[in-house]
């Protein structure tokens, strides 16, 4: 079949990437969707079981740092779009092993940019109809303070959009024109990759778009991140290691809402532009953890408060950013996007998903998921 578009989604076997692959493979049967992933510890093909037999889907095990392989794949599949999510994504790991983050997030992004540039420049139509979409994080902007309007107690409601609540812990938000001030090796590497993407736009005219998103939550998130780790620990009555005093604030967005934004921006975003994507939904870690305990206990039929004593305050994360909060007014105004789920609804769906998919969690925590490629894909 002749496909209308041929798109590589890097990091498609990870948490957010798998939702993006699923959305694109289902919504656009006339697009060829190529999931390119190195299957590091964070890549799990079980996240994509429901799309693996679709005729418009192909999985390729590849390292984004392998420039020759990426270039050859672009030629072979006549790729006209790249949605780039592959990265090392966990802040705690970046503190222990910064080099891996520089390799994947910086050099890997550079390798993709160079492959896209050289391949597209070799075509008669060059950059026409092409798009390189780089997915980044709000962490590049650094940390915000928690200052509220006088006489107002946080969290307060602000900037309500279409009747939806926006919970905030401070008056300032990350906007697209803000200066980059990354603090962790993870965010420094992501910031560096963002600069390379913009440099390729400004220097070579590569048609790029960049988005910086807040914390995602939902199904298929690797259980080293706060929400899936804590749901699993509450279920098994294991301690919940809260960094510092649990005072840090994150802006949570349901992952399918992020995937919808990516779809919209891939198709309609302005060339060379940046869009912030956020949840309008700031939570102090300790309050969020209490919601998780209450939700898990209710769904498991345990008495209220039964697991409150699992909360264990531990040494704080080094360089722990105090508050992230996105202002996504630009995306809302220009492209009409806003989150569809209120947090209570999203967290209920998420907790239910993890409780119903203990097999998925067991597979990940035992390491068995890493055998899936060999059994399912060997020889394909």
Q: Which residues bind ligand DAU (CB under 6 A)?
A: 89-91, 137-139, 214-215, 225-226, 229, 241-243, 248, 250, 285, 317, 324
Residue 63 sits in the site that holds ligand NAD (CB under 6 A) = yes
In the bound state with ligand NAD, the residue whose beta carbon lies nearer, of 71 and 127, is 71
Q: Which of 119, 169, 186, 254 is catalytic?
A: 186
Angle, nearest 10°, between helix axes 226-235 and 343-356? 60
Pick what 229 binds: ligand DAU, ligand NAD, none; C-beta below 5 to 8 Å, kind-dependent: ligand DAU
In the bound state with ligand DAU, the residue whose beta carbon lies nearer, of 264 and 286, is 286
Decide if 50 is catalytic.
Answer: no
* Distance of alpha carbon 347 from alpha carbon 343, whole angstroms: 6
Residue 86 sits in the site that holds ligand NAD (CB under 6 A) = yes
* Distance of alpha carbon 267 from alpha carbon 336, whole angstroms: 13
Pick what 14 binds: ligand DAU, ligand NAD, none; C-beta below 5 to 8 Å, kind-dependent: ligand NAD
3-state helix, strand, coil in the chain (%, to 5): 45, 20, 40
The DSSP output letter for 179 is: P
The DSSP output letter for 140 is: G
CA torsion angle for 52, 55, 57, 59 (degrees, to 10)?
60
Asked if 45 and 52 touch (Cβ cutoff 8 Å), the reply is yes
In the bound state with ligand DAU, the residue whose beta carbon lies nearer, of 206 and 277, is 277
Q: Which stretch binds ligand NAD (CB under 6 A): 5-13, 52-60, 151-159, 166-174?
A: 5-13
Query: Per the structure block, which two tokens stand in for 286?
Result: 């300790």
How many residues bind ligand NAD, per CB under 6 A?
A: 30
Span between the terminal Cα atoms of the chain, in Å:
19
Q: Which of 37, 80, 88, 138 is catalytic?
A: 138
Pick what 8 binds: ligand DAU, ligand NAD, none; C-beta below 5 to 8 Å, kind-dependent: none
Decide if 251 is catalytic.
Answer: no
Phi/psi for 22 (5° steps) reads -60, -45
**Full DSSP string of 44-70:** -GGGGGGGTT-TTEEEEE--TT-HHHH
Q: Tokens 């890097």 correspond to what residue? A: 10
Nearest distance from residue 376's CB to ligand NAD, in Å? Answer: 16
Pick what 108 binds: ligand NAD, ligand DAU, none; C-beta below 5 to 8 Å, kind-dependent: ligand NAD
Residue 134 bridge partners (DSSP): 84, 210
Query: Per the structure block, which two tokens stand in for 299?
Result: 């769904």
Decide if 139 is catalytic.
Answer: yes
Pick what 65 binds: ligand DAU, ligand NAD, none; C-beta below 5 to 8 Å, kind-dependent: ligand NAD
Residue 175-214 contact track with ligand NAD, rule CB under 6 A, x = bound: ---------------x----------------------x-
Residue 6-45 contact track with ligand NAD, rule CB under 6 A, x = bound: ----xx-xxxxx-------------------xxxx-xx--
Residue 210-249 contact track with ligand NAD, rule CB under 6 A, x = bound: ---x-xx-----x---------------------------
Q: In the chain, what is the greatest distance between 2 CA atoms, to the nearest angstrom?
A: 67
Q: 380: which residues sit within 8 A by CB, 6+ positions away?
A: none
The length of the chain, given as a count of residues: 380
Query: Per the structure block, which two tokens stand in for 95?
Result: 């503190």
In the bound state with ligand NAD, the residue whose beta carbon lies nearer, of 119 and 127, is 119
- What residues are labeled active site? 138-139, 186
Which residues are at the interface with ligand NAD (CB under 6 A)? 10-11, 13-17, 37-40, 42-43, 63-65, 85-89, 104, 108, 135, 137, 190, 213, 215-216, 222
């Amino acid at each position: 079949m002749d496909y209308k578009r041929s798109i590589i989604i890097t990091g498609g076997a990870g948490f957010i990437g798998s939702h993006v692959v699923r959305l694109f493979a289902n919504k656009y049967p006339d697009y060829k969707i190529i999931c390119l992933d190195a299957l590091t510890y964070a890549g799990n093909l079980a996240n994509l079981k429901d799309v693996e037999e679709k005729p418009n889907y192909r999985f390729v095990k590849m390292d984004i740092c392998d420039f020759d392989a990426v270039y050859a794949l672009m030629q072979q599949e006549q790729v006209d779009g790249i949605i780039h999510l592959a990265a090392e994504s966990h802040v705690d790991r970046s503190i222990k092993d910064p080099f891996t983050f520089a390799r994947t997030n910086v050099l890997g992004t550079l390798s993709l940019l160079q492959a896209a540039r050289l391949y597209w420049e070799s075509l008669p139509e060059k950059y026409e109809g092409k798009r390189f979409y780089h997915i980044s994080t709000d962490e590049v902007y650094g940390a915000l303070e928690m200052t509220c309007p006088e006489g107002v107690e946080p969290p307060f409601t602000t900037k309500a959009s279409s009747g939806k609540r926006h919970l905030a812990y401070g008056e300032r938000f990350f906007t697209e024109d803000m200066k980059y001030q990354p603090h962790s090796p993870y965010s420094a590497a992501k910031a560096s990759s963002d600069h390379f993407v913009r440099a390729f736009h400004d220097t070579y005219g590569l048609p790029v778009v960049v988005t910086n998103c807040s914390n995602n939550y939902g199904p298929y998130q690797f259980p080293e991140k706060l929400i899936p780790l804590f749901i699993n620990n509450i279920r098994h009555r294991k301690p919940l290691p809260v960094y510092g005093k649990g005072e840090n604030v994150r802006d949570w967005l349901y992952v399918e809402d992020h995937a919808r934004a990516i779809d919209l921006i891939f198709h309609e975003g302005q060339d060379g532009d940046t869009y912030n994507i956020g949840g309008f939904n700031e939570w102090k870690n300790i309050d969020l953890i209490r919601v998780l305990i209450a939700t898990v206990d209710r769904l498991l039929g345990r008495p209220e408060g039964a697991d409150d004593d699992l909360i264990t305050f531990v040494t704080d994360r080094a360089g722990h950013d105090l508050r992230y909060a996105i202002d996504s007014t630009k995306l809302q105004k220009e492209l009409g996007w806003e989150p569809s789920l209120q947090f209570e609804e999203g967290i209920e769906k998420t907790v239910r998903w993890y409780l119903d998919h203990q097999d998925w969690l067991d597979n990940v925590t035992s390491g068995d998921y890493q055998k899936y490629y060999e059994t399912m894909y060997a020889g394909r």
